[in-house]
Every structure is written in structure tokens, then in C-alpha cells.
Chain A
Amino acid sequence: MSPMKRIENTVLTVLTLLAALVWIFPLYWTFVTSIRSDENVAGNTSILPDEFQLKAYLDAIFNTKLTVWYVNSIGTAVIVTVLVVLISMLCAYALSQIRFPGRRLLYGIVLGSFMVPAQTLVVTQFVLMNDLNLINSWAGIILPQLIAPVVIIVYKQFFDSVPKEMREAVVLDGGGEYTILFKVFLPLNWGITTAMSIVTFIGVWNAFFWPFLVVTSEDMMTIPVGITQVNDAFGVAYARLMAVAMLAALPVIVTYIIFQRRVTEAIMISSGVKG
């Protein structure tokens, strides 16, 4: 490599690293603010952390309903994730492996609903939830979030590519379709199940619009909706606000850091860039 080329390379790498640091700066600044005391936040433009105290965090935990919102978020997100994966996997298996009347129509509906913007349906979904008496309940938050055509499409793709011989072996042993699904197809596709679960979980944890509409009582709010209340309750106290933001983001940040490769993979697969 020529010296010119080497310098160019180094410069580009340094620029990329700098850009990445600039990009993540807002999150870093949130953290720095959150470990300062309220008096020390206003007008403090020192980029480096000059104080480390958890008062804002303790305030956030004990003087807001954060823990209640945590329970709501974890509960609804876990339930939605498990149900979405289960419902989609079953449907995808039937679409992929069993010939039954209406199969093509159903797959057409799945593909079609992929294009339908669910956000525009909120008015009548709300009316329906009201009729069912599910406003301000976990069920109200959960039910409309169970429809995930993308997960069905991805599962079907993977099931389609499982070799025929694998299922025939089970059939010879007298196993039915459910046995084939849970003993052969599921173990073969654990990777995709993990990947889909993680992105579904992150998506549901972050859902704002629907939970914001269907929940009006503070005790039923999920994290993303609840934390918008803190603002009103405290007035402008940025250290506490940022501590709340950090706590609200923590579960998804940790999930992402642990399952980074799965998240990346899931996004690439479900958008069809990598099959």
C-alpha cells in the first residue's frame, strides 16, 4: 500500500470514529446530565462528567410511578412477544407445509396486511376496545399488537426451505403435524425464533401511539407513555428527566447490546435484504 493511500485510510477511519462519537453524543449527554445534581445541571456545559450521584435516579424510582410502568411494560411486552411468535409460527407452518383450501387466499391476506398502515385504524380499534370494556387494561394494550404479518412471512420463508426428508422421517414414525413443527421445524429454526422474539420485544416495549390512546389511567401506562407524565409532575428538572429517560431506555439498550447480532440479522431478514 502506498504511503498516500495509508494516510488516506487512517484519515477516513478517524473521521468515521469521530462521526460515530458525535452520533452517540446525545445519549452520552443524557447520561452525564442524569448523574449530576439539579443545581449543577443548568448552564453546565462541561462535556466531561464532573459529579457522580444517583439522587436523580432514586428520585425517579421512588417519586414517580416508574416501577408500576415497568411492570406494565414488561408484562405486556413479554405476553405480546410470546403470543406473536406462537400465532405467527403456527400460521406460517400451515401455510408452508399443509395443503388446505383457502391457503393461497390466506397468504394473500398476510402479504396484503403487511402494506396496511395499522396506525390509521386506531379510531375504530379504540371504539372496539371500548365496546369490549378493555380501555385501561393489559388486554387492551396487547390485543391489536398481536398481528404481525412480517413474522409470518419470515417464518414461512424459513419453513419452505426445510428439506422434505426431515418431515417424512417423523411421518414414518407416526408423528402428526404438531409433532413435526415442534420436534423438527422449531429446533431447526431456533435462530430465527430468537431473532424474531427480540425485535418483537423491542418493538412492543417502544410502542407509543396505541398504548397512549388505550390507556388513560396512570397506573396502567407503559414506560414510553408514562415517562411523558414525569415532565408535568416535576416541572423542568432535567437531571431527573434524564435519569427517567436512562431507566426507560435501559432494558432495550441492554437487550440490544447482548443480542446485537440477532437484532441485526432479524432486521436484515425481515426487510428481505438478506434471505
Chain B
Amino acid sequence: MAMIENRRRKSLIALTMVTPFVVTFSVFFLYPMLEMVRMSFTDAPLIGGGKWVGLDNYLKLFSDRLFTISLKNNAYFVALTVIPTTAIALLIALAISRLSGVRQTVVMSLFFLPYVLPVSVVTEIWAWMLDLQFGILQPVISLIAGKPVAVFKNPYWVMPMVAVVTIWWTNGFNVLLFIAGLRNIPAELYEAAALDGATTWQKFSRVTWPLLWPVTALVLTLQLILQLKIFDQIYLLSGGGPFNSSYVLLLKVYREAFQSNNGGYASAVATVLFVLIVVISVLQFQLLRIRRNA
């Protein structure tokens, strides 16, 4: 009897501890999630009810050219950022891990610092550096293009340059993960390799790379998910232009909901993006787990 009593009392205490999370989660996360799906089957404006239209919004997506463009641009942006930032971060991490003491700390902070900046600070800095008339980087652009270019107003330059800005901003995070991964590799392995007369390249390809692969896979998948959600930098630097050449899915959600007042349709686009990201996350989770168990 006392045991049951005790257990019930404990459950009650547990309940008081989890309630704050459960309530905030249900109200501000779970409910909006279910509402998003429900709304995507209606023709509701942003505020105020609408009527049920079944799959209409989803069918409309197929004929919406801007949706196709957004999807393509999202894929393009992923291609421009995910592998490049992973490669650059690995290279920087390898370079940093050679250093030691204060020198290592300082160099690491220099590479990491941009990551702590607010996105609008980042975009303002780069808008200034790439200013058509006075931008300090325009000589570099001229070197490539032959003349100064208003990069964020140019359909060819806009996505690669947003990618450059994004990599500069977020790369420090990846560098940190790689440094942690490198630190986890036992030093004895390098000593053994050195005794066997391995070259620097052999040490990298036989020891570092295979042992670092789980971290590399983690960085790649985290980046893939992160870059699919691109909105801030695009909105602030190019607003999706010129000629929709940097229009992406989350921008589509924003414009449909908050500027065209199509709550239902915006929810359908959001639901597609939502499903896309969840599917990738689940696949990634399974992949990482398989590797860990293997």
C-alpha cells in the first residue's frame, strides 16, 4: 500500500516538473503544427476562417511556377553551401589543430566570431563590402567579371554571393565540430602511423578521414537541413530577386501568408517544406544510428 502511495506521489511530483514544458510545447508547437496541416486544406486568409477545399492547394502547387522556381533555388542553394562549407571547415579545423596554446585559441576565435553575429549585422556588413560604387570587394569582383557588379541585383551572382555570405557567417560552427572530432582521435594512432613511416597524406587518408567520417556526416546533414530553411539572408540581401532568381520556399511561405493574405495556400507550401525536412532528418537519424551500431 505504502509503495503504491509513494509511487503515486512521485508521479505527481514528476507531473509538476514536466507540465511547463508540456504546456508550452502543446500550445506553441503542437497546436500550430496541427493547425498548419488543417489550414492547408482550406482557402483561409491569414486571419479568419475559410472553407474546406480538399487537396486544391496542393494541386495548385504543381502549376505554380514560383513554387517550382523556389524548389529549384532551394536545391541550388544547398548545392552551393553544404559541401563547400563542410570542405572549408575541415580544412580550417585541420589547420587550427596543428597550432597550440594561445595561438590556437586566437585563430579559432577569429574563425568562429562571425557565427555569433545577428544575421542582419552580417548582411549589412556584406552589402557594404559589395556596394557597387564603394565596396572594398568590388576590385575582386571586377577581376572575375571584368567590371563592378551589383551582385545582389544580378540573377547570376545573387545565389553564389548569398552562399558566400552564409558560409562566412556559419562556418565557425562546423569548424568547432571538426575540431572536437579531431580531438577524439587517439594520438597513439598517429604515433603508430609515424613509426610505420606514413606520409602526411597517408596519415590523413588512413587515420584522420575514416575516424572523422561520423563528424563529417553529422556536419553534412546538419547543414543540409539548415540550408533548406534559408530565409533571413535572402530576404535581407535580395528579397528573392532579381526576377525571382533567389526566391526560396520559406520566402514563398512568407509572401503568400503575410503579403498576399493566402493563409491556406501558405500553409500548404509550409507543409511541403515541413515534410521535406522531417523526412531528411529521420533518414539522417537512421543513418547515423546504423553507423554507430555497426
Contact = CB atoms under 8 A, between A and B. Distances in A.
A273 B134 contact: no
Given A23-B168, A41-B134, A256-B116, A273 B215 contact: yes
B266 A202 contact: no
Contacts of A231: 124
Interface-central residue, A117, A118, A257, by most chain B CB under 10 Å: A117
B117 interface: yes
B118 A224 contact: yes
B278 A209 contact: no
Nearest to B108: A264
Interface in A83-142: 86-88, 90-91, 93-95, 98-101, 103, 106, 109, 113, 115-128, 130
B218 interface: yes
Contacts of B173: 267
A206 B125 contact: no
A21 B124 CA distance: 20
Interface string A181-221: 00000000000000000000010011011000100000000
Contact of A119 (B46, B126, B229): B229
Interface stretch (B24-32, B64-72, B145-153, B202-210): B24-32
Contacts of B13: 94, 98, 176-178
Given A16-B96, A126-B257, A128-B31, A224 B121 contact: yes
Interface in B110-127: 110-114, 116-121, 124-126
Interface residues of A, number: 94
Contacts of B98: 9, 12-13, 16
A169 interface: no
A272 interface: yes
A224 B218 CA distance: 29
A226 B96 CA distance: 36
Nearest to B20: A87
Interface string B52-91: 0000000000000000000000000000000000000000
B201 interface: no
A208 B232 contact: yes
Interface string A234-275: 001010011011001100110111001001100110011110
Residue from B46, B120, B168, B232 with most neighbouring chain A CB atoms (10 Å): B120
Given A120-B273, A124-B35, A253-B116, A238 B131 contact: yes
B211 to A, nearest CB: 13
Label chain A's interface by main secondary structure.
helix
B250 interface: yes
A147 B225 contact: no
Contact of B176 (A19, A93, A213, A264): A264
Given A90-B17, A126-B46, A128-B35, A119 B109 contact: no
A30 interface: yes
B113 A24 contact: yes
A67 interface: no
B157 interface: no
A113 B106 CA distance: 36
Given A12-B98, A23-B111, A123-B36, A117 B225 contact: yes
17 contacts: A30-B128, A41-B134, A43-B133, A98-B10, A119-B229, A147-B24, A147-B29, A177-B14, A227-B124, A241-B124, A242-B125, A245-B121, A248-B118, A249-B118, A256-B109, A272-B218, A274-B183
